[in-house]
Amino acid sequence: MTKSADTYLVCDPWQIIEENWNRERNLVSESVFSLGNEHMGVRGYAEEGINAETLQGSYFNGIYEEADLNRSYKGIITKTHFMVNSVDWLYAEIHADDELLDIASCDIENFRRVLDMKDGTLKRSFDWRTKSGPVVHLEFIRFLSMDSPGTAYQKINFSVSGGDVSLTVVIANNFNTSHGWNKKNYWDMTRREWFTSGAAIQGKTIRTGQQVFSGFTFRTNINVQCGKKVAEKFAGFEIILALKNGESAWIEKCVYNHISKERDSAGDPVWIKGCEIMKDDPVDFDTALEKQRKYWDTFWKNADIKIEGDPLNQQGIRFCIFQMQQTYNGYDPTNNIGAKGLTGEAYNGHAFWDTETYCLPFYLFSNPQAARNLLSFRYATLDTARDRARQLDCEGACYPIATLNGEEACSLWQHASLQFQPSTAVAYGIRHYVNLCQDTEFLYEQGAEMLVEISRFLASRGSWNNDGTGFGFYAVMGPDEFHMMVNHNCYTNFMAKKTFEYTEQVLQTMEKEQPKKFAVFCKKLKLSQNERMNFVLCADKMIILFDEKTKIFEQHEGYYTLPRMEISKIPVTDFPLYHNWSYDRIYRTSMIKQPDVLMFLFLYNQEFSRDIKKANYDYYEPNTIHESSLSPSIHSIFASELGKHSEAFRFFGFATRMDLDNYNRNTVEGLHTTSIAAAWMNIVYGFAGLRSDGNYLSLNPVLPEKWTGYEFGILYRNAHIRISVTAKDIVLSSNDEISEPIPLKIFSELHSFTSAGLTISLSKKQD
């Protein structure tokens, strides 16, 4: 790993603070200071405009455009889609006399930008020494309502010293936004209206025809001169604030965004609904901020992770948790989690298998409804996954590698046609969710159908070997991604085996518990006993390349004979390899990008002995280049489990501060949102040793040497349990009423957790 920190933010337990604006870091800061509420997201850009590299990104979850691809073979997609830069509802052009405010070129002092994780506000303040003499002190505050996700607030405070100033402020909602990577605008205006102290404008994406209503009202605290400001795809007001020396004023703007994700959606219903929301939800800034504070208070009470003795990681992990909640919190089951959340355009807003494998656990232990919604997203897109399977000449349903709307959007055929971890991850997610949350209603209404269709896909994509003794997958790519068109990739085969088994287990239970429903289910899906027997057979005969003697799984057929790459000998300047190596060169050695065998050992952790885990960790880790930001956390978790504590802490090194310190030098593109989830897992599954894949939840906490203690919360069996670990002991407590004792394994010993709490001495457990 070749990472270095670019530390420029002030360390603080609850705030992210930038002092002094820096042109080179503008794009990074815009990413770091992003706000979101699942429904929409906005980068931390300067709303008054800036003459520097900027991405004035404003996104809605599920609002996208499409582009054609020229591909010539069946099963290779011919169009892709991408989350599109949308309305700039923060537009605020400011003139002092004749001078345009631009922090990149004006005389600016005392610049400070603060993200407050206790109330979800972003504040930006500075002094502007105007060319005509007087100093204008400005403060911009914005936040996105967590309760009413279409609503957002902006406030601009002005005060003047050193003379009188006439300030001209244009506030607007503006559809003239440029999509970042190609500088193209994707919006047609469909309607616009001005009201007394507000306006509304509606835009439609040019190709997909999705509608976005964006209205606002505004207030000021002094009498102002004010008029309509009209421009193309733009609805605003020009406000003139004539401030005398020592005077101050503010403008408050309340924004109401309402969207329709439907393709070619009719404009009128969206407009009418938008206007209704504007009328019904006219909360003023201060009242809304109060509600916002309460929301985050409640959230942190349960979700916070406290770290003692490590302020940098303390700030880092809170930033991670805050961003997870901003990106996704279960508001709308048609949303998912983009690899960069709603903070940038890299990865096009696409959700990957990261959702089920890296993000789901955070929600499973904080917000089961959100976890369920993530799975319902897959159910809602099941028909599209069925279509995709057909395109691949297969049966059942194949979930896409990358998507916003359920359609495959990955333009690299070698990933889209050869990687099946999204499908097996959905099956795993269902199992994980149902086991922990015991939601059989979901299982029988949605989960079972997905399981059958995924199993069908796997059964039709896999093949029997020539003597009919073994089943497996040919020409695939595992999660590793540095080996392509391989046979019997252990991850793919193993996860398929588990999918078949779990599907049959669910079917058997359903058959027994709800025979009538089951009969209807089978009829609807044309599911026969023969087909079920075939699933079982495929599972039983699945080829798993395991050597009893060495306890090592071979990553795929022939992996052992690949030339071994000595990773430590690769010059630092070669990283990232995708940029500096010829593409084919990364595919011809033993080097792997990210956990593959270790990944299924992680997901089904409790099914494997410590010996197996150790043997495979020791074998594969030295072959792993960690070119995915998700890789180090998984390795850290294993290192913890195997007692390699300093190694575990080394891999944890930059997990929580990946973006705050721009370790991968690409935070300009947006936050590593799914990595943020891995940071949470790194502490909860790694240091605290939580395991959630078996019959009992189990904990095996260790305390990193550098820390004096840490504390985190999990919601399990309807109880919010706080778990605190120090060198001395581990203390479990809850303020909730616990009707039935909750079984928990701690250091392999089964305990019953009740309202009375639980304390276990740690002194003799540390190895």
List interacting residues with its own copies (CB under 8 A).
Answer: 73-76, 391-394, 413-414, 417-418, 463-466, 474-475, 483-487, 557-558, 561-564, 578-585, 587-589
Cis omega (within 30 of 0) on the bond before 576? yes
Q: How far is the CB of 592 from its own copies (least distance, A)?
A: 14
Cα 136 from chain centre: 39
- Three-state SS string over 71-122 comes to CCCCCCCCEEEEECCCCECCCEEEEECCEECCCCCCEEEEEEEEEECCCCEE
Shortest approach of its own copies to residue 474 CB, angstroms? 4
Exposed (0-12), middle (13-18) or buried (19+): which is 761, by Cβ within 10 Å?
exposed
Between 486 and 527, CB nearer to its own copies = 486
By beta-carbon proximity to its own copies, the closer residue of 259 and 392 is: 392
CB of 488 to its own copies, least distance (A): 9
Nearer to its own copies, 384 or 487 (CB): 487
Closer to its own copies by CB, 105 or 463: give it.
Answer: 463
Category of 185 on φ-ψ map: left (φ > 0), alpha (ψ -120 to 50) or beta: beta
The sign of the dihedral angle between the CA atoms of 231, 233, 235, 240 is negative
Q: Which residue has the tokens 């007692």?
A: 643
Closer CB to its own copies, 250 or 464, in the complex: 464
Q: Could you write out the three-class secondary structure of 534-572? A: HHHHHHHCECCCEECCCCEECCCCCHHHCCCCCHHHCCH
> CA 391, CA 520: separation in Å to the nearest integer?
28
- Do residues 460 and 419 lie in contact, with contact meaning Cβ atoms separated by under 8 Å? no
Taking the complex as a whole, the smallest distance from the CB of residue 575 to its own copies amounts, in Å, to: 13
Which residue's CB is nearer to its own copies, number 94 or number 486? 486
384: tokens are: 């599209």
Q: ∠143-343-153 over CA atoms, to 5°?
A: 15
222, two tokens? 């002094």
The least CB distance from residue 478 to its own copies, in Å, is: 13
Measured from the CB atom, the residue of 366 and 590 that comes closer to its own copies is 590
- CA distance linking residue 268 with residue 270, whole number of Å: 5
Beta carbon of residue 510, minimum distance to its own copies (angstroms, whole number) = 32
Minimum gap (Å) between residue 487 Cβ and its own copies: 6
The tokens describing 727, both together, are 């060198």
Token pair of 36 as six digits:
């979101």
Beta carbon nearer to its own copies, 260 or 489? 489
| Cβ at position 520, least distance to its own copies in Å | 32
Q: Rounded distance, CA 115 to CA 140, Å?
A: 12
In angstroms, give the least distance from the CB of 401 to its own copies: 13
Min separation Cβ 430 and its own copies, Å: 26
How many angstroms separate the CA atoms of 23 and 46, rounded? 12
Radius of gyration of the chain (CA): 27
| 512 versus 579: smaller Cβ distance to its own copies | 579
Nearer to its own copies, 389 or 723 (CB): 389
Q: Are 39 and 694 in contact (CB under 8 A)?
A: no
CB of 562 to its own copies, least distance (A): 7
Looking at the Cβ atoms of 562 and 668, the one nearer to its own copies is 562
At residue 335's C-alpha, the angle toward residues 332 and 337, to 5°, is 130
What minimum distance in Å lies between the beta carbon of 135 and its own copies?
48
Residue pointed to by tokens 């990358």: 402
Judged by beta carbon, residue 65 or residue 93, the one nearer its own copies is 65
Per the listing, tokens 């940098």 go with: 312
Q: Are strands 742-746 and 698-699 parallel, antiparallel or unpaired?
A: parallel
Least CB distance to its own copies at residue 408 (A): 12
Alpha-carbon gap, residue 764 to 547, rounded angstroms = 35
- What minimum distance in Å lies between the beta carbon of 561 and its own copies? 7
Beta carbons within 8 Å of 542's beta carbon, 6+ residues apart: 470, 471, 472, 493, 494, 496, 497, 500
Q: How far apart are the first and last CA of the chain?
A: 27
Report the residue number, 178 or 589, with the smaller CB distance to its own copies: 589
> Quick one: 432 or 556, whose CB is closer to its own copies?
556
Considering the complex, what minimum distance in angstroms separates the CB of residue 349 from its own copies? Answer: 18
Judged by beta carbon, residue 376 or residue 624, the one nearer its own copies is: 624
Strand-pair partners of 36:
41
Instruction: Return the percent helix, strand and coil in the chain, to nearest 5.
Output: 35, 25, 40
Quote the least distance from Cβ 409 to its own copies, whole Å: 15
Least distance from its own copies to the Cβ atom of residue 580, Å: 7
468 or 515: CB nearest its own copies: 468
Nearer to its own copies, 544 or 562 (CB): 562
Measured CA to CA, the distance from residue 428 to residue 351 in angstroms comes to: 16
User: CA-based angle 631:636:640, to the nearest 5?
Assistant: 155
Q: 632: which residues sit within 8 A by CB, 6+ positions away? A: 1, 626, 651, 652, 653, 654, 655
- Of 602, 591, 594, 584, nearest to 563 by C-alpha is 591
Round to whole Å and give the CA distance between 79 and 70: 8
Compute CA distances 677 → 170, 376, 633, whole Å.
Answer: 39, 20, 10
CB of 519 to its own copies, least distance (A): 34
Q: Which is nearer to its own copies, 8 or 581 (CB)?
A: 581
Q: 3-state DSSP call for residue 4?
A: coil
Instruction: Identify the three-state secondary structure at position 741.
Output: coil
Residue count of the chain, please give it. Answer: 767
Under a CB-based contact definition with an 8 Å cutoff, are residues 247 and 159 in contact? yes
